[in-house]
Amino acid sequence: MSNMKSASVREVQHQFARVLAWVARGEEVHVYRRKQLVAKLVPPGPAAIESPDFVGRARRVWGKRPRGKSLSQLASEARGTR
């Protein structure tokens, strides 16, 4: 891959703006600790920019009008306690 860069964990910590600029230009950055790959920084894909369709997903799971409870109540219960 010609547009791939690599950086050490130390470089990422001390020169984050520069590493982030690489990613912003569309480059994939491999991050190494002691010559072992520990992370990949990749630019977001088109789907990452759009917000998720929560209502559409809820309707696919529970139908257009679930019986008894509103979609917000079902979603809250499915989420559980924090």
d(CA 20, CA 51): 22
The two three-digit tokens of residue 72, written as one number:
């917000």
CA dihedral 8, 12, 13, 14 (to 10 degrees): 100
Specify whether the CB–CB gap between 27 and 5 falls below 8 A. Answer: yes
Residue 36 has pLDDT above 80, yes or no: yes
- Rounded CA-CA distance 32/62 in Å is 44
Quick one: pLDDT at residue 62?
A: 73
Q: What pLDDT is stored for residue 1 in this prediction?
A: 46
Query: What is the band of 47 on the pLDDT scale with cuts at 50, 70, 90?
Result: low
pTM attached to this predicted model = 0.53
Domains in the chain and their CATH numbers?
4-46 (3.40.1620.10), 51-79 (no CATH)
